[in-house]
Amino acid sequence: MVFESLSEKLQNALGKLKGKGKLSEKDVDVAMREVRLALLEADVNFKVVKDFIKKVKERAIGYEVMESLTPGQQVIKIVNEELTNLMGEKEAKLNFASTPPTVILMCGLQGAGKTTTTGKLAFNLKKQNKRPLLVACDVYRPAAIKQLEVVGEKVNVPVFSMGDKINPVDIAKAALEHGKRNGNDVIIVDTAGRLHIDEELMDEIRNIHDAVNPNEVLLVLDAMTGQDAVNVAETFNEKLGITGVILTKLDGDARGGAALSIRAVTEKPIKFAGMGEKFDQLEPFHPDRMASRILGMGDVLSLIEKAQASIDAKKAMELEQKIRNQEFSFDDFLDQLEQMKSLGPIDQLIGMIPGMNSKALKGLDVNEKDINRIKAIIQSMTKKERDNPDIIDSSRRKRIAQGSGTSVQEVNKILKQFKETKKMMKRFTDMEKTMKKKGKFG
């Protein structure tokens, strides 16, 4: 998980301040030295760290903090605010043209995740009822055109290409005309990436830029490359004038330095974060929520948004009815597991729950394999068994274990868990009924 080590170190350093009734300047100094080290180890730009510490210190040894009843909490609040400021205060949304089409120019080095991110962005825009068109302007690698076409097919978005014999500037111009004729309201131009920055590449992108006059120039950066990502951002910004950054691979074990430095160094916002290889794993970048996650304060808002986006409201109502009527079956149980899974990797979800930091995670054994085994067990039951688990005797248990490639013990465990869950639901509905009778509920 990104920021894991930074998060742990910051929480350690700040945790020491929490319990203290009074803070001396020395206490703050000691904590800030640890914070400084943690940031440097996370590969945050040296100058950025220096400014950050100066700002926090100035505020932390101010009168209001030192004289407050909870000085430690106040310092943590300041660190949270300054971390947020560092990453850009508010979510930076995409700029759409006042008269469509909006043109988005994608740039970045090879391997940063540009093509994947182009697909994710198209997927995201489609969900907002836009009609994107992808444009293949990387004519140097024939495989690149094919890759974009595959991506387009997967997210069900058209791809405009003219093969690899035409000048990319002409392709971009033709794509714009094509898009206008076909009612595409967002045109996303994928450009060639190189392993390193070179002048020729920059000139070409600049020419495409001048030909299509984009509303957004988004630089795709690999968070795993740390300081290098920051250098690349600086150069692209100088030469091309980017409007924002998409940071990819934040689901990996990047140290997080890039996320914390880019805004300060380039003064350009991070607009999205790539959280995995799948097309739905692109998240708007919220500096305040990210700061909260880093400090182990969770990110309940993102969690709720994710849940709202992936949980089917109708199904949830039906489920509630079933629980009330005590008709909750193994099929519903399975449905619940599926919905949980569609929220995304469990370790990412846990990072969003307040107090559930990386340390808490270590003691917690949540893995997708367990969920898959439970699923296999339930799927090996007949419909009758799923509706009425009481009929599952020992020979049925043996058959289910065999069918799911698990053991009888595991089957027993799931049956027991299910029974407990049902019992708990019954207790809850009984309690609700009694409360209602007494007029204390709803």
Report in angstroms how near the CB of residue 68 gets to ligand GDP at its nearest: 41
Residue 152: CB minimum distance to ligand GDP, A: 13
For ligand GDP, the closer CB: 275 or 400:
275
Q: Is 142 in the site for ligand GDP (CB under 6 A)?
A: no
292 sits near ligand GDP (criterion: CB under 6 A): no
Cα separation, 240 vs 207, whole angstroms: 10
Q: Which is nearer to ligand GDP, 52 or 236 (CB)?
A: 236
| Site membership for ligand GDP, residue 251 (CB under 6 A) | yes
What are residue 106's DSSP bridge partners? 190, 218
Task: Decide if residue 248 touches ligand GDP (CB under 6 A).
Answer: yes
Rg from Cα positions in the chain: 26
CB of 193 to ligand GDP, least distance (A): 5
Please give the residues from 171 up to 230 whose contact with ligand GDP meets the rule CB under 6 A. Answer: 193
* Segment interacting with ligand GDP (CB under 6 A) among 47-55, 196-204, 243-251, 354-362: 243-251
- Whether the CB-CB separation of 327 and 307 falls below 8 Å is answered with no
- Closest contact distance (angstroms) between CB of 283 and ligand GDP is 10
AA letter at 13: A
- The C-alpha atoms of residue 426 and residue 431 are separated, in whole angstroms, by 8
Contact between 113 and ligand GDP per CB under 6 A: yes
Cα dihedral 373/376/378/381 (nearest 10): -140
Q: In the chain, what is the greatest distance between 2 CA atoms, to the nearest angstrom?
A: 79
Instruction: Specify whether the CB–CB gap between 273 and 246 falls below 8 A.
Output: yes
How many CB atoms lie under 10 A from the CB of residue 69? 8
Q: Which of 84, 116, 357, 380 binds ligand GDP (CB under 6 A)?
A: 116
CB of 177 closer than 8 Å to CB of 93: no
Q: Is 110 in the site for ligand GDP (CB under 6 A)?
A: yes
Alpha-helical segments (H) within 156-274: 168-181, 199-212, 227-240, 257-266
Closest CA to 17 of 9, 28, 26: 28
Q: Smaller CB distance to ligand GDP: residue 168 or 193?
A: 193
Q: Is 108 annotated as a binding residue?
A: yes
Among 71, 72, 88, 108, binds ligand GDP (CB under 6 A): 108
CA distance 69 to 74: 9
Q: Does 237 bind ligand GDP (CB under 6 A)?
A: no
387 is in an annotated binding site: no
Cα 146 to the center of its chain, rounded Å: 27
255 is a contact residue toward ligand GDP (CB under 6 A): no
- Rounded-to-integer distance, Cα 361 and Cα 290, Å: 18
Mention every residue, 6+ apart, whose C-beta is less than 8 A from residue 310. 339, 342, 343
Q: How far is CA 439 from the centre of its chain?
A: 44
Q: Say whether residue 268 binds ligand GDP (CB under 6 A).
A: no
**Residue nearest ligand GDP by beta-carbon distance:** 274
Q: Taking CB under 6 A as the criterion, which residues in 31-60 touch ligand GDP?
A: none
- Please, which residue, 71 or 244, has the CB nearer to ligand GDP? 244
The answer to whether residue 252 forms part of the interface with ligand GDP (CB under 6 A) is: yes
First to last CA, the chain: 41
Determine, following the binding rule CB under 6 A, whether residue 357 of this chain makes contact with ligand GDP.
Answer: no
Q: Which H or E run contains 215?
A: none
Distance, CA of 429 to CA of 435 (rounded, Å): 10
Nearer to ligand GDP, 243 or 281 (CB): 281
Instruction: Indicate the residue among 158 and 345 with the shorter CB distance to ligand GDP.
Output: 345
Residues 134 and 179: beta-carbon distance below 8 Å: no
Q: Is 113 annotated as a binding residue?
A: yes
Q: Is 295 annotated as a binding residue?
A: no
Q: What is the Cα–Cα distance from 88 to 270, expressed in whole angstroms? A: 8
Task: Tell me if 298 contacts ligand GDP by CB under 6 A.
Answer: no
- Contact flag: residue 152 with ligand GDP (CB under 6 A): no
110 is in an annotated binding site: yes
Asked if residue 271 binds ligand GDP (CB under 6 A), the reply is no
Residue 11 in the binding site for ligand GDP (CB under 6 A): no
Does residue 163 contact residue 170 with C-beta atoms inside 8 Å?
no
Query: Does position 256 bind ligand GDP by CB under 6 A?
Result: no
Annotated binding site for GTP: 108-115, 190-194, 248-251
**Residues of the shown chain interacting with ligand GDP in the complex, contacts defined by CB under 6 A:** 108, 110-116, 193, 248-249, 251-252, 274-277
